[in-house]
Amino acid sequence: MLAQAPSSARILIVEDEVDLLRTLEYNFRQAGFDVLETTSGREAVRLAATQAPGLVLLDIMLPDIPGTEVCRQIKNDPKTRPIPIIMLTARGDEVDRVVGFELGADDYVTKPFSVRELILRVRAVLRRAEPQDRGEVIRIGSLTLDAAEHRVLVDGCEVELTALEFRLLWTLASRRGRVQTREMLLGDVWGHNLNVEIRTVDAHVKRVREKLGAAGALVQTVRGVGYRLAADEPG
């Protein structure tokens, strides 16, 4: 039997297959989650902004707007950006996974799936959604990471990162000066998600560097091994 979720664990399920929606709603409630549900993409965006779910389970194929557009809108709103998103789809094409991750999705599950496994995936993503040291602030040269506020600043100006990009940068920053292999980052940031390929790590590192501007030079490539965040800003 699965352990009960914390009473505060609220998830939003966005799925237009009513039978599947009811199955997911029942099983997540039995597992101790507070469940919000909708079949509409536009309603999902509204609920994410007004009900503050801890996580969104988001189907890609919706009747009004695509799930990818829902993901984009949630991640473009500073208020809802930190909410983790797990995308659900019947399509297993790599291009769908890449688009989802580029928009900021945290995980990707292809139908059909085991509900028990999905609940475990949700718990894993919720655990990874918050840095372990929630009150810690890391400063390296012009770069500042604030765990409690989930913010990144470069020279005092805020840099907008997705929740996953923040987790990637925080992982590197909290281990600054130490090389992290792609496999280590895949496990610690993505949780060894079997749907994520090693090159996804490279794509996310590239995007984080670009967003950091000049401070992106702090993220160093160790050829043939992985990445590290410099312990100090390069002169």
Q: What's the CA gap between 216 and 99, in Å, rounded?
A: 23
Out of 41-45, 107-111, 214-218, 221-225, which region has the weakest mean confidence (pLDDT)?
A: 107-111
**Predicted pLDDT at 1:** 40
Q: Give the model's confidence band at 19: pLDDT under 50 very low, under 70 low, under 90 confident, else very high.
A: very high
Out of 30-34, 103-107, 230-234, which region has the weakest mean confidence (pLDDT)?
A: 230-234
**Predicted pLDDT at 135:** 61
Residue 95: pLDDT over 80: no
Question: What is the 3-class SS of 155-189, one letter each residue?
Answer: CCEEECCCHHHHHHHHHHHHCCCCCEEHHHHHHHH
Question: What is the rounded average pLDDT for all residues in the chain?
Answer: 85
Quick one: average pLDDT of 216-233?
89
Q: What's the CA gap between 76 and 98, in Å, rounded?
A: 18
Out of 24-38, 53-67, 123-137, 202-216, which region has the weakest mean confidence (pLDDT)?
A: 123-137
User: Any idea what DSSP says for residue 217?
Assistant: G
The architecture that CATH gives domain 137-229 is: Orthogonal Bundle (1.10)
The model's pTM: 0.63
Higher-confidence residue of 164 and 6: namely: 164
The architecture that CATH gives domain 10-129 is: 3-Layer(aba) Sandwich (3.40)
Where are the domains positioned within the chain?
A: 10-129, 137-229
Quick one: average pLDDT of 64-79?
91
Q: Tens digits of per-residue pLDDT, 110-150?
A: 888 899 989 988 988 887 766 555 568 899 989 999 987 88
